[in-house]
Amino acid sequence: MAARTLRIGLIPGDGIGREVIPAGRRILEALPSSLNLNFSFVDLDAGFETFQKTGAALPDRTVEVLKKECDGALFGAVSSPTVATKGYSSPIVALRKRLSLYANVRPVKTVSTAASPVDLVIVRENTEDLYVKEEKTYAAPDGTKVAEAIKRISEKASWNIASMAGDIALRRQKIRDQGVDSIHKEPLVTITHKSNVLSQTDGLFRETSRKALAQDKYSSVKVEEQIVDSMVYKLFRQPSDYDVIVAPNLYGDILSDGAAALVGSLGLVPSANVGEGFAIGEPCHGSAPDIQGMGIANPIATLRSVGLMLEFLGEEKAAATIYAAVDKNLVEGKLLTPDMGGKSKTDEVVEDILKML
């Protein structure tokens, strides 16, 4: 069988993104030849530093190259201006819209040997809910101000995100079948909503998600649901109960940021922005200007994001290889960056994980 070649866009962005994205390239280049994968790369620009130089945070060339030439991409980090800056808007938000990346996927995982192991994924709808940003402020009859915001939930977007959650549950089971340690025995999707109060919007999300996950291809996936406020409580009290959690945009945003606290460092938490046939792997730690240039950024969130990107490109075995190497580094605990209580440099951790491959 001829080797598959994947072309990957590399977008370091700002701050420590320029230090961790090269680590992502290195692990792709070091994957075993038995996986029958080759990679080519294209360096692309985006971010606040790009905006300061060119006046565009997301150059048109970056979008066009991703659309026409690339199978996937890695995005490092974005710095945000400390004051309102005319003409600037977040390039990663713009990329999600321009590439129709309707799902934000965020795994939260500790190693299986941890005292209270966690291994779950939050799948967040990325295009609607309150984030449609349709707001208005007006005067009430008594002269006081009233502000309103539209919460939009559509059947189409709900179906897509629930189907994505079902696909992820099946894919995670495939990776577990590759011998990757896990606390889970069977695929599970938990639908999160507040339909007991928001009967039309969240009610539609709940109903549509149920229908999507009732498709024959998800017959092996167990489906349950949870009201969002009790979901928050149970997520922190009983995280091992969950495998894949699917939620509308706002709830998914809150749950995914909160869940990062379960693993102790944002330097461990990957994410992917996913659409039809395309995925951007993105570490969750931000640009971290306080440690920029010190060589101590944790590369693990990026390396796990590489694995996540490969999952959505249909390369589960390659993803499992990366996850296993990262987990072995964490289990041994000999080379850890300062955010994990260690003293190792970024490159030292990368070299150790490359050896684990």
pLDDT of residue 23: 97
Unique residue bearing structure tokens 């080759």: 38
pLDDT of residue 25: 98
Helix (H) and strand (E) counts in the chain: 11, 12
| Exposure letters 25-34 (e unless 16+ CB within 10 A, then b) | bbbbeebeee
pLDDT of residue 167: 93
pLDDT of residue 113: 67
pLDDT tens for each residue of 80-104 = 887 878 889 889 888 988 999 999 9
Distance CA 102, CA 124 (A): 9
Tens of pLDDT along the chain (357 residues) come to 789 999 999 999 999 999 999 999 999 999 999 999 999 999 999 999 999 999 999 999 999 999 999 999 999 999 988 787 888 988 988 898 899 999 999 999 887 667 788 899 999 999 899 988 899 999 999 999 999 999 999 999 999 999 999 999 998 888 888 776 677 779 999 999 999 999 999 999 999 999 999 999 999 999 999 999 999 999 999 999 999 999 999 999 999 988 988 887 788 999 999 998 899 999 988 898 889 999 999 999 999 999 999 999 999 899 999 999 999 999 888 898 998 889 999 999 999 999 998
pTM above 0.85? yes
> In what helix (H) or strand (E) does residue 103 lie, and over which residues does it extend?
strand 103-109
3-state secondary structure (DSSP) of residue 309: helix
Distance CA 208, CA 215 (A): 12
Give φ, ψ of 154 to 5 degrees: -115, 155
Quick one: which of 85, 6, 93 has its CA closest to 306?
6
CATH topology of domain 4-110+263-356: Isopropylmalate Dehydrogenase (3.40.718)
pLDDT of residue 184: 74
Quick one: which of 195, 209, 228 has its CA closest to 159?
209
Beta strand 37-43 pairing with 4-13: parallel
pLDDT of residue 254: 93
pLDDT of residue 111: 75
Assigned token pair, 306: 């590489």
pLDDT of residue 110: 84
Q: Are 209 and 190 in contact (CB under 8 A)?
A: no
